[in-house]
């Protein structure tokens, strides 16, 4: 390596010395036809100076001669300086010419004298005498000042002619082939070829190119904004070279790549012109990307699907706790708990017990978060019934939570009352700290229920054993009415937002069927509560009438004003009453409320 560098240095030094301004093959004579005595010499300090009248006039340029070219060996860039002698009487005093060439940036110069004497005005060819200084070695890209005057020089005045010659660069055809330009890579045509080969997992890019005499080493590189690979290759005896890059296709994030071949010519060294080629490797690449993306996508979707299945499986606490009344497993708490708001009427203490046991069952066995006015009386007291209901309704509407409407005698009676029928006041409502919540609930929910095209939010149900189909207010006749506990499984699927019937299969949840649900403690309590009320009803056929209070017995409730307000604003309500046999105008209902 040291030897190589030293060799380069020497070669460069030699080349630089050779290219210095000078005259190659300097002939000592400039004889021409009709001119026997002509000599070329270095300029001397003592110039021949003559009086003005004894000095010849100045020369002029010969426009016909090409100035810039190669020397006769085709190795060096040279200029010829050619001038003519004016055919006038002063020719007799002419003793010669002096030519001075100065490179402008360095002040490097050559100076020669032509010494001759001319007897005739014109040469034997009857043309003006013409002299030429040939093969002055110059440097491409440099500028020279050429000045010529005839001898002897006049004492006063100046007949010097001057001309600036700028030598073109190696790109110029006239000097392109000179050695120093070849050594600068002027004639190198790499004829680069790129072959992309797709091997399994690997991408192979072969770069082939023509080498040239004057550059032994080449650096071939491939790059884009993500990577840079390079390989050095030496020419040795070959005329064409090739370099192969192999890399993983995944490294390519972009289609566009640049391939560059940097030669190291003697003259330009590390700054030589380096051909580049842009290649686009997209078709295969993007296909692979597509495949990758698709695969990843499928993996993600598959993962989600598996996760969903897992979630669904684990969300079903009944599967894991079917043997006994275990608390819902820990994993359940991490899932999004479904919330359900229960709307019901406090028909009877025994019915209230059923509702409470249902809540316990939903909460413990089904892992549902139950919202019940009775269980939230503190907040209800602070907010008031309408605000409390509205707050929950909004929460439920903005989520996948549900509203369970438990129909009973009281619900139907209160609905009819809203539509103008006889008002109902239940003992249990009077006893309850929250009072009648059903009427404000219905006034809020029914318009919304009717308006919403899907009744997804609302689950209408009734306890088959203690209530009947007739207890369901007419607005709810448009949707499915579930019988409890027979259809509790369906209700539970509704709460979970899952379809019981899916193509090809019917889902079942262990322990929720009517005959099984009471086998664990929380559901047994529910079962017992239903049976207790059922027995009571059988023993007291007029149980509902017994529960009714006369309006005189009724203490005016705080919330009543609110209920009236809600009815006032809910003008739509009237339209929902038309199905009621005893439907009166809403005005009457309102008036009744106001008069109370």
Ligand X SMILES: *[C@@H]1O[C@H](CO)[C@@H](O)[C@H](O)[C@H]1NC(C)=O
In the complex, the residues that contact ligand X under the rule CB under 6 A are: 41-42, 48, 50, 66, 68-69, 80, 95, 106-107, 115, 132, 134, 140-141, 152, 169-170, 184, 189, 191, 193, 206, 208, 210, 219, 230-232, 236-237, 242, 267-268, 271-273
Q: Please report how close the Cβ of residue 217 comes to ligand X at its closest, in angstroms.
A: 7
Q: What span, in angstroms and rounded, lies between the C-alpha atoms of 445 and 341?
A: 12
Nearer to ligand X, 277 or 524 (CB): 277
Q: What span, in angstroms and rounded, lies between the C-alpha atoms of 229 and 248?
A: 13
Nearer to ligand X, 230 or 591 (CB): 230
Q: Please report how close the Cβ of residue 211 comes to ligand X at its closest, in angstroms.
A: 11
Grouping H, G, I as helix, E, B as strand and the rest as coil, residue 416 is helix
Grouping H, G, I as helix, E, B as strand and the rest as coil, residue 297 is helix
Nearer to ligand X, 230 or 452 (CB): 230
Nearer to ligand X, 145 or 583 (CB): 145
Q: Please report how close the Cβ of residue 243 comes to ligand X at its closest, in angstroms.
A: 8
Assess contact for 14 and 179: CB atoms under 8 A: no
Nearest residue to ligand X by CB is: 69
Q: What span, in angstroms and rounded, lies between the C-alpha atoms of 231 and 220?
A: 5
Q: Please report how close the Cβ of residue 116 comes to ligand X at its closest, in angstroms.
A: 9
Assess contact for 176 and 186: CB atoms under 8 A: yes
Q: Please report how close the Cβ of residue 67 comes to ligand X at its closest, in angstroms.
A: 6
Q: In the chain, what is the greatest distance between 2 CA atoms, to the nearest angstrom?
A: 163
Q: Please report how close the Cβ of residue 286 comes to ligand X at its closest, in angstroms.
A: 26
Nearer to ligand X, 152 or 367 (CB): 152
DSSP code string of 433-495: TT---HHHHHHHHHHHHHHSSS-TTEEEEEETTT--GGGS-GGGGGS-EEEETTTHHHHHHHH
Query: In the structure encoding, which two tokens stand for residue 29, read together?
Result: 């004579």
Q: Please report how close the Cβ of residue 40 comes to ligand X at its closest, in angstroms.
A: 8
The label of the residue with tokens 């490797």 reads 281
Q: What span, in angstroms and rounded, lies between the C-alpha atoms of 83 and 80?
A: 10
Q: Please report how close the Cβ of residue 311 comes to ligand X at its closest, in angstroms.
A: 54
Phi, psi of 33 (to 5 degrees): -55, 125
Nearer to ligand X, 113 or 443 (CB): 113
269: alpha, beta or left? (left if phi > 0; alpha if psi -120 to 50): left
126: alpha, beta or left? (left if phi > 0; alpha if psi -120 to 50): left
Query: In the structure encoding, which two tokens stand for residue 258, read together?
Result: 């640049």
Nearer to ligand X, 267 or 348 (CB): 267
Per residue, the 3-state secondary structure of 200-242, as one string, reads: CCEEEEEEEEECCCCEEEEEEEEECCCCEEEEEEECCCCCEEE
Nearer to ligand X, 170 or 380 (CB): 170
Q: Please report how close the Cβ of residue 55 comes to ligand X at its closest, in angstroms.
A: 9
Nearer to ligand X, 50 or 122 (CB): 50
Query: In the structure encoding, which two tokens stand for residue 409, read together?
Result: 């005698």
Nearer to ligand X, 20 or 306 (CB): 20
3-state helix, strand, coil in the chain (%, to 5): 35, 25, 40
Q: Please report how close the Cβ of residue 200 comes to ligand X at its closest, in angstroms.
A: 20
Nearer to ligand X, 157 or 302 (CB): 157
Q: What is the Cβ-side half-sphere exposure of residue 324, based on CA atoms within 13 angstroms? A: 2
Query: In the structure encoding, which two tokens stand for residue 429, read together?
Result: 């409502």
Q: Please report how close the Cβ of residue 126 comes to ligand X at its closest, in angstroms.
A: 20
Q: What is the Cβ-side half-sphere exposure of residue 589, based on CA atoms within 13 angstroms? A: 29
CA angle 573, 576, 581 (to 5 degrees): 120
């Amino acid at each position: 390596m040291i030897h190589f560098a030293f060799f380069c240095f020497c070669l460069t030094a030699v080349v630089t010395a050779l290219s210095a301004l000078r005259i190659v093959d300097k002939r000592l004579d400039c004889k021409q036809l009709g001119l026997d005595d002509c000599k070329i010499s270095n300029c001397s300090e003592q110039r021949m100076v003559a009086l003005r009248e004894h000095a010849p006039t100045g020369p002029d340029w010969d426009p016909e001669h090409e100035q810039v070219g190669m020397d006769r060996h085709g190795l060096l860039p040279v200029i010829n300086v050619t001038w003519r002698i004016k055919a006038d009487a002063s020719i007799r005093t002419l003793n010669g010419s002096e030519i001075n060439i100065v490179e402008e940036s360095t002040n490097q110069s050559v100076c020669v004298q032509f010494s001759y004497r001319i007897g005739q005005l014109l040469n034997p060819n009857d043309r003006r005498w013409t002299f030429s200084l040939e093969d002055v070695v110059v440097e491409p890209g440099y500028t020279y000042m050429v000045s010529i005057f005839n001898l002897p020089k006049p004492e006063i005045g100046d007949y010097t002619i001057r001309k600036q010659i700028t030598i073109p660069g190696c790109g110029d055809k006239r000097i392109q082939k000179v050695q120093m330009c070849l050594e600068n890579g002027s004639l190198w045509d790499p004829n680069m070829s790129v072959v992309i080969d797709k091997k399994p997992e690997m991408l192979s890019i072969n770069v082939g190119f023509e080498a040239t005499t004057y550059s032994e080493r080449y650096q071939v590189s491939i790059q884009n904004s993500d990577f840079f690979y390079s390989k050095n290759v030496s020419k040795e005896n070959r005329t064409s070279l090739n370099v192969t890059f192999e890399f993983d296709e995944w490294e390519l994030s972009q289609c566009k790549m640049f391939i560059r071949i940097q030669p190291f010519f003697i003259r330009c060294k590390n700054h030589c012109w380096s051909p580049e080629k842009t290649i686009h490797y997209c078709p295969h690449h993007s296909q692979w990307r597509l495949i990758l993306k698709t695969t990843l996508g499928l993996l993600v979707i598959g993962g989600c699907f598996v996760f969903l299945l897992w979630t669904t499986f684990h969300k079903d606490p009944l599967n894991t706790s079917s043997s006994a009344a275990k608390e819902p497993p820990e994993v359940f708490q991490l899932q999004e708990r479904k919330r359900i708001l229960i709307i019901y009427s406090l028909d009877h203490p025994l019915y209230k017990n059923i509702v409470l046991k249902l809540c316990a069952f939903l909460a413990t066995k089904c892992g549902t978060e139950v919202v019940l006015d009775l269980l939230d009386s503190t907040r209800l007291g602070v907010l008031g019934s309408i605000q409390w209901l509205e707050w929950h309704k909004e929460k439920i509407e903005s989520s996948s939570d549900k509203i369970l409407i438990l129909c009973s005698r009281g619900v139907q009676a209160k609905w009819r009352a809203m539509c103008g029928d006889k008002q109902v006041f239940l003992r249990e409502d009077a006893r309850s700290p929250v009072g009648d919540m059903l009427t404000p609930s219905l006034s809020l929910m029914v318009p919304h229920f009717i308006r919403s095209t899907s009744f997804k939010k609302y689950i209408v149900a009734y306890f088959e054993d203690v209530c009947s189909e007739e207890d369901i207010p007419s607005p709810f006749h448009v949707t499915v009415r579930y019988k409890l506990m027979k259809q509790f499984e369906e209700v539970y699927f509704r709460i979970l937002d899952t379809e019981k019937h899916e193509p090809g299969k019917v889902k079942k949840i262990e322990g929720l069927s009517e005959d099984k649900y009471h086998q664990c403690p929380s559901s047994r309590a529910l079962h017992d509560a239903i049976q207790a009320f059922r027995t009571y009803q059988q023993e007291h056929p007029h149980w509902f009438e017994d529960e009714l209070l006369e309006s005189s017995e009724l203490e005016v409730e705080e919330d009543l004003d609110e209920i009236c307000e809600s009815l006032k604003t809910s003008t739509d309500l009237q339209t929902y009453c038309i199905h009621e046999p005893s439907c009166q105008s809403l005005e009457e209902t309102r008036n009744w409320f106001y008069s109370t």
